[in-house]
Structure 1
Amino acid sequence: MANLLKQRNVIAVLILFAIVFPFITNNNYLIHIMTLAFIWIIAVYGLNLLAGYTGYLSLAHAGFFAIGAYSLALLTTKAQMNYWLAFVLALIITSVLGLLIGLISLRTKEHFFAIYTLCVGYIIYLVIDKWDSLTGGVRGLIGIPSPGNIGPIEFNTPVSNYYLVLFFLLFTILVVYRIVHSLSGRTYIAIRNSEDLAQTIGINTTRNKLVVFVISTFFAGLAGALYASFIRFIGPDIGYITITFDLLTYLIVGGIGTLSGPVIGTILLVWVSQQLQFLQDYRMMIFGPILTLLVIFYPRGISGGFIDFRAKRKEKKQNQSNLNQNQQMISAQETSAASNKNG
């Protein structure tokens, strides 16, 4: 049972399920919801890499998501650019803006960083909302083209879009996995645990924080670009702070600072939210107490709770094994002493 709870196994099972999901159901609505969940997971992985592994909570994540979406939309609708070229440029634009903002924002720490990025995210939202001539303002942008063909492969059906987004999700998981299990990943964790201690052992914390911040914005832009071409209509609301809090909720429920947390938390909450659509705004009356209890009893989320459970079980087995060994040694000593006494 403990082996089944390993993050690698959890992710492998979820990936296998995702691959066969369109064959399980022919319902296009369910495929649509799952595709949206995959897009949110990509964005959550970017947030997790920065907040979960480096300890810096960026509240501008929705803003970078919107930058990726609007960059793709503007390049394809107004500049009439090829989809895939626009897609690559959207990621570059998001990453460059992330670099520029990160150079300033990372001069702050802890709650000051969160407050600063909150302001940045709101400014991005205001720019999108008020710049009517470019972004369309509250009207948004419509007619965003679907992903362009790749040779004979077309992306004009729900299933084909599903697998395209799944491909980018698997790419994201692979990249994040390699980062977390590399020297850079251990460096990020060292910064999270104690930035001052990391500096004393020679880690360039400024450079490493900037790199992970740009990577985080890259994934946000990737999710935004996929969202724009999937929905084919975007408005300024996608850059509002509530989107950031939604992503943060997915991360906290799934398990912040874990590899499987973004997948578990996002899919769970997206599906639960869909099942509670009939409650409309009253859904939070259910989500609120559940999230409160989860934070109290499982502060590391569902995935983190499983990891802690496995660690405690392993520790218990190790203590029991040590106790048995000590008892055997005591018994052997007593037997030896009794034998010597009889002799």
Structure 2
Amino acid sequence: MPDLTLTIGTRASLLARWQADHVQAHLEVAHPGLTVRQELISTQGDRVLDKPLSQIGGKGLFTKELERALLDGAIDLAVHSLKDLPTEMPDGLMLAAILPRADWQDAFIGPADLMAMPEGARIGTGSLRRAVQLRRLRPDIQILDLRGNVDTRLRKLDAGLYDAIILASAGLHRLGRADRIQTYLPFLPAAGQGAIAIQVRDGDDATAHLLQPLHDPVTATAVTAERAWLAAMDGGCQVPMGALAQMVDGRLVLRAFAADPDGDGYLEASETGLPADASAIGASLAQRLRDAGASAWIRPQAGRDPSVA
């Protein structure tokens, strides 16, 4: 291949750097001679740490600065945690690859599993989605906001600010912290949780072609259904939601929930169909949940920011 340099845009957190390093390593193996460098970019979600994500507002709290750099030509590709990427992308950008999904589960980190924690235990999470599902299992516990990167959150737990915390399993495994996991929770995850997405400029066929060896069609099909569901729900960032699509005996099974953030309302449903119909399955399940009452909880906000999920 002729001499070519690609610049990856990434956030500066340890987990984001791991993801960028992972993409870089796979590119260099797939394309010997390719030069890959990284550009560290700070996002609003990284800078504002004194309030819950759900109160910051806006879309793309962890992605829009990366997207701006991509549109400006400062970087050639942006690496994202797919769950942080809004369903509506800016004009001029596209997803070029979805990597194989890691563990999508939520992990409970504490001295005992959730059901064995004492009454009134202080559980840390920055996610409305997790908080709603926590309360359904343990209405007696205290749920406290938790911000920061993985190691910061673990240090806050170790300092006694919380009795236990909940984190994404994928991040703990990627950073070599899986030994901290007490148990896995039976929660529906955020749409796209555990998947890494690579974004490029529309029309940059050369970069998109270089990324094809990294693309996983099975993961792409699953997250297509989840993100189609998320987009069709059209919910504001204040509405707790979760979705998971999996292949079962050659069929695509999508499960999802939405909840009333101000009350006890909770709706969960599933839909099954052909993998080729992933987008339609997601849209159909969203319509069913909305018709069943979820629309009453939702304030329309196109391209809902899932980073609070």
Q: TM-score, normalization: structure 2? A: 0.33
Higher-RCO chain (CA-CA 8 Å, sequence separation at least 6): 1
Instruction: Looking at secondary structure, tell me which structure has more strand per residue.
Output: 2
Q: Would you tell me which structure has more helix in proportion to its own residues?
A: 1
TM-score (norm 1): 0.30
